């Protein structure tokens, strides 16, 4: 039955890895530091995707042992569906929402005039604004700053933050909205503006164990919260966990 579950996961995820002793499904924005953390273990494999995609896969039976999402709302969906163990849920990091442009393009004022001028005939790359956490945060910030009306019909919506970076890096979009930690994954892009933290809900990375009965999952989750695990996240630009836990 475990093998059959994996086949179903491969069909759903396309690029999901072969079954490991501990299989972690994690938000794409965590790839750099989480690869380093997983390398500390002999039995951990990580599959990356957008948080909404992960939540849907897990709710459909994908055999994850640990889930790490970039949006607490998606984690609440998994809690309500009993797809993760509520007592295991913990915040492990946070982040900042920024605007990126081509390297050397210069700072951008968070005004309608500046956005429209910089976009020109191009589009604003952003995560799916109704599903991808970075896209949800982006829409909230744009609405809070009175910019949504000027850009809502000029979006290039994609399924994760790394795809946003790729569009800007290739010159296919003059601007993109992503996390600060993603600005460093390509020398072809740079941060041109940062959204006020109060313009959107806190960016919380929450982790949880699924009811998989895998005895090795707790050690991995504990490492994420340890000084060593947090050091990997901090070195990659992530901020400390938000203080408030999920209810």
Using CB atoms within 10 Å of the CB of residue 198, give its burial: 0 to 12 exposed, 13 to 18 middle, 19+ buried.
exposed
Q: What is the pLDDT of residues 161-209, one digit of tens each?
A: 889 999 999 999 999 999 999 888 899 999 999 999 999 999 999 999 9
3-state secondary structure of 121: coil
Using CB atoms within 10 Å of the CB of residue 210, give its burial: 0 to 12 exposed, 13 to 18 middle, 19+ buried.
buried
Taking the domains of the chain in order of start, what are their residue ranges?
2-94+204-235, 97-199
> How far out from the chain centre does Cα 18 lie?
22
Q: Residue written as tokens 């273990």? A: 41
Q: Is the pLDDT of residue 1 over 60?
A: no
Q: Phi first, then psi: what are they for 25, rounded to 5°?
A: -100, 120
Mean of the per-residue pLDDT values of the chain: 88
**Residue-level pLDDT at 243:** 58
Domain 2-94+204-235 fold? D-Maltodextrin-Binding Protein; domain 2 (3.40.190)
Q: How far apart are the first and last CA of the chain?
A: 33
pLDDT grade for 71, boundaries at 50, 70 and 90: confident
pLDDT grade for 244, boundaries at 50, 70 and 90: low
**Domain 97-199 class, CATH top level:** alpha beta
Residues annotated within a binding site: 29, 51, 134, 161, 179
Same fold, 2-94+204-235 and 97-199: yes
Residues annotated within a binding site for molybdate: 29, 51, 134, 161, 179
Q: What is the pLDDT of residues 31-60, one digit of tens each?
A: 999 999 999 998 999 999 988 899 999 999
């Amino acid at each position: 039955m475990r093998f059959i579950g994996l086949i179903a996961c491969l069909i759903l995820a396309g690029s999901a890895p072969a079954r490991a002793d501990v299989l972690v499904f994690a938000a794409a924005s965590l790839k750099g530091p989480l690869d380093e953390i997983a390398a500390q273990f002999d039995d951990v494999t990580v599959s990356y995707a957008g948080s909404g995609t992960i939540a849907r896969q897990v709710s459909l039976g994908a055999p994850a042992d640990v889930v790490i999402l970039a949006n607490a709302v998606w984690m609440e969906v998994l809690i309500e569906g009993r797809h993760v163990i509520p007592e295991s849920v913990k915040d492990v990091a946070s982040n900042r929402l920024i605007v990126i442009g081509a390297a050397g393009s210069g700072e951008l004022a968070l005004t309608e005039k500046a956005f429209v001028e910089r976009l020109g005939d191009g589009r604003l790359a952003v995560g799916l604004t109704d599903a991808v956490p970075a896209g949800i945060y982006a829409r909230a910030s744009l609405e809070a700053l009175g910019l949504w009306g000027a850009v809502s019909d000029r979006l290039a919506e994609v399924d994760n933050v790394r795809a946003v970076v790729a569009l800007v890096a290739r010159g296919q979009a003059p601007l993109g909205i992503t996390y600060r930690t993603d600005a460093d994954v390509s020398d072809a892009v740079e941060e041109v503006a940062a959204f006020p933290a109060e313009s959107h809900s806190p960016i919380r990375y929450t982790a949880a164990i699924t009811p998989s009965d895998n005895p090795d999952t707790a050690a991995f989750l504990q490492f994420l919260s340890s000084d060593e695990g947090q050091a990997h996240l901090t070195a990659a630009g992530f901020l400390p966990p938000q203080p408030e836990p999920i209810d």
